[in-house]
Amino acid sequence: MNSGIPFLNIPATPDGAGVSEVTPAEGLRAVLDNLDALVYVSDFETHELLYMNAYGRRIWGSIDGKKCWEVLQNNASPCDFCTNHLLIDSEGSPSAPHIWEFQNRLDKRWYQCRDQAIPWLDGRLVRLEIATDITERKEMELALKEAHEKARAAALQDDLTGLHNRRAFFELGNQLLKQSRRNGSPLAIIMFDLDHFKQINDNHGHEAGDEVLRHIGRVLETNVREADIAARIGGEEFAILLADADAIQASEMAERLLSLMRKTPVRYQDVCIRPTASFGISALRPEEINLENLLARADNAMYESKALGRGRVRTKP
């Protein structure tokens, strides 16, 4: 078996007793070929593969003087993620090993790679890589990360409507407020509370009330921009934070939402429910640095709407 490295191809020398003496080169080859990891050496400039251990040859086949990117990635040109430039210093001398994790594009397995530039027997610089398959561990890590992300998403989502919940509204809203302050862009808020919601629950049951809340959630998801933040912040209370919008634009959206509520009744069993809401609008002031003041003014405007007969929009700039 040809290893591809001259010092690993030295034949065994019989001793006087007729027993083959194992040379250091053969011992090293045996060690490398029994490693449960890929070991390969390639020319630093030409990328020609000079050596690959048995583990690598079982997976990627014979090297036959091919380039590393031909064998390992089945590419037609050098890999765009090649780490060679990280393995030498500004003077072109070998630097510290580079350790990284990578999913092979050919076999889709995950590897932890230890790459290092070393001098070869003839003085040229070569790349030595030891790559250990970490697919099982990586898949567990990715699954755990996905589970954490889903758990966090669930913690920030209102189960009934699918909108953001109060916690998410303040987390995301404060980020949006900081961005607005940094860019000098306007920011407005819409708050609304469903009118006579208790009567819906009392007259038709809580399931009917839940269906109304789900309907409002769908209305908001369909009509609110992706850049805005829509949330259910209380029982039947909702808020929308509008990026790059002033009080006039927020009022126009509120009127549109109120019109949609009136035009799209909720059908629950044999009942037709036509929900309305009282809206309050406010816009960010130059001196404001937190979301609470903006929300409080919109809340006051919303209660003015209720006091004036409900089903309307009021603004407190």
pLDDT tens-digit profile of 92-130? Answer: 999 999 999 999 988 899 999 999 999 998 889 999 999
| pTM exceeds 0.95 for this model | no
Q: What is the pLDDT of residue 20?
A: 60
Q: Rounded to whole angstroms, how far apart are CA atoms 286 and 270? A: 51
**DSSP string across the chain:** ---S-GGG-PPPEE-TTSPEEPPHHHHHHHHHHT-SSEEEEEETTT-BEEEE-HHHHHHH---TT-BHHHHHS--SS--TT--GGGSB-TTS-B-S-EEEEEE-TTT--EEEEEEEEEE-TTS-EEEEEEEEE-HHHHHHHHHHHHHHHHHHHHHTB-TTTSSB-HHHHHHHHHHHHHHHHHHT--EEEEEEEETTHHHHHHHH-HHHHHHHHHHHHHHHHHHS-TTSEEEE-SSSEEEEEEET--HHHHHHHHHHHHHHHHHSPEEETTEEE---EEEEEEE--TT--SHHHHHHHHHHHHHHHHHTTSSSEEE--
Q: Rounded to whole angstroms, how far apart are CA atoms 13 and 28? A: 16
CATH 3.30.70.270 boundaries in the chain: 156-315
Q: What is the pLDDT of residue 56?
A: 94
| Residue 179, pLDDT above cutoff 70 | yes
The string of pLDDT tens digits covering residues 15-70 is 444 456 778 888 888 999 999 999 999 999 999 999 999 999 999 999 998 999 99
| Residue 193, pLDDT above cutoff 80 | yes
Percentage with pLDDT > 90 across the chain: 71
Catalytic, 304? Answer no
Q: What is the pLDDT of residue 135?
A: 94
What CATH number matches the domain at 35-137, 3.40.50.2300, 3.40.50.1820, 3.30.360.10, 3.30.450.20? 3.30.450.20
CATH architecture of residue range(s) 156-315:
2-Layer Sandwich (3.30)
Please give the mean pLDDT across all residues of the chain: 89
Average pLDDT estimate for 224-232: 92
Q: What is the pLDDT of residue 188?
A: 96
- Which of these is catalytic: 236, 255, 287, 288? 236
- Token pair belonging to 77: 């040109």
Q: Rounded to whole angstroms, how far apart are CA atoms 114 and 38? A: 10
| Residue 155, pLDDT above cutoff 90 | no
Backbone angles phi, psi at 162, to 5 degrees: 80, 0
